[in-house]
Structures are given as structure tokens and as C-alpha cells.
Chains A and B, each alone.
Chain A
Amino acid sequence: DIQMTQSPSSLSASVGDRVTITCQASQDISNYLNWYQQKPGKAPKLLIYDASNLETGVPSRFSGSGSGTDFTFTISSLQPEDIATYYCQQYDNLPLQLTFGGGTKVEIK
């Protein structure tokens, strides 16, 4: 089974700061890595798919990069509405297996 290690588990940053979250896979997953934002009491929302593709309607301050085992999610300029927990999620097509990272809680300093 593929394991996903997401770090940090939490961070505190100021409005306007650049925020970076990493996700490491236990084996090569190509670019099969997605990122979600979850606000309290809400279902997760897809932000980035296949490592670097911005979902329609998602602000351009969100971005993703990486391939193989190491991936990065970036908020270029943190906004108050970005306070949430962010999750990475990998997928393996054959056989179908999906795994989430442990999550990163982003707070305003």
C-alpha cells in the first residue's frame, strides 16, 4: 500500500505570507496527486488535480508541483479566507486505491 506523509501537520502564518505544504509518497506515483481544502463542518473542496492543475474557479494564488514521490502545495499570498485544513490525496489506477495525507491545518498568526 502507498503511504502519504504530509508536513507540517499545522502552521501559522501572516496574511500575505507564502505558505508551502509538502506531501511525500512511499513510492513513485507519477503525478497522481490531488489537493483539497476543508473548512470546519464542510466537505473537502478540490483545489488541484494531477499535481499541478488548478480546478476551475480556484484562485490562482493556489498552486501545486511535483512528480514521482515529492509534491508541494503553495499559497502564494495567504488570505484570511484560506484558513482551513489542506489534504493531499494519491491514487493508483490498477488496482484502484486512494490514500489521503494526514492533513495540514493552516492558521493566521
Chain B
Amino acid sequence: QLQLQESGPGLVKPSETLSLTCTVSGGSISSSSYYWGWIRQPPGKGLEWIGSIYYSGSTYYNPSLKSRVTISVDTSKNQFSLKLSSVTAADTAVYYCARHTPYRNWFDPWGQGTLVTVSS
């Protein structure tokens, strides 16, 4: 059974770079044609897709965040990562990683999520 787990600092200072990793277990991140995505949810608010990376390394980002986002994949560690630069308090959110499939773009499964707070 495929499982995803987010990890990274829970507190980031304003103007710095948020860095998170999603570790995939129960399957290989590079063995099949999947997208690996990041979604976030500010406290008490709705869901926002941040971006996704194809198993081959192609990336796709939400236009509203594109200038600050980098998603990468490390197949040797079966992980993919998110970097969000120049963070502000508005980037405080629970960050989820999830898998989706080309032309069947629904997210399943999801990681449990990790709260990142931006504060000095």
C-alpha cells in the first residue's frame, strides 16, 4: 500500500525559504507514470494546489506561486521535495503531498500533512 509522509521544519522565518520533503513508501517513485504533487491549506481555509512533478522530472506549477516554487525529485531516496522562497505569514499552512496520474488528475493517496508556520 502506497504511503506518503511529509517532513521538514515546522517554523520558518519571514523572507527565508521553506523546504519540505515527501518520502514515498510501498512503491517506487520512478517505476510508473505518476505525478507527485504538493497542496497546502492555510489554517481554517481551503486547499490550494502548489505544483507537481512528473516521474521523469517535468514540473508544473500554480501560476500564482510559480516565481517562488521549485519541486524536485530524488529517485535514489524515493523522495520529492518542495522549496518555497521569500515566505511571508501568508504561507503559513498545512502542506500535503499526494500522488496523481496523467489524465486522471485526482489526488490519491495523500500524506498526513505537516504544519509550517512563518514567524520571526
Contact = CB atoms under 8 A, between A and B. Distances in A.
Contacts of B46: 87, 100-103
B105 A46 contact: no
Interface residues of A, number: 26
B47 interface: yes
Interface in A20-76: 32, 34, 36, 38, 42-46, 49-50, 55
Nearest to B4: A43
B81 interface: no
Interface residues of B, number: 24
A1 B65 CA distance: 13
Contacts of A50: 104, 106
B105 A91 contact: yes
Enumerate the 4 nearest inter-chain pairs by beta-carbon distance, A residue then B residue, closest first: A91-B105, A43-B110, A96-B60, A34-B106
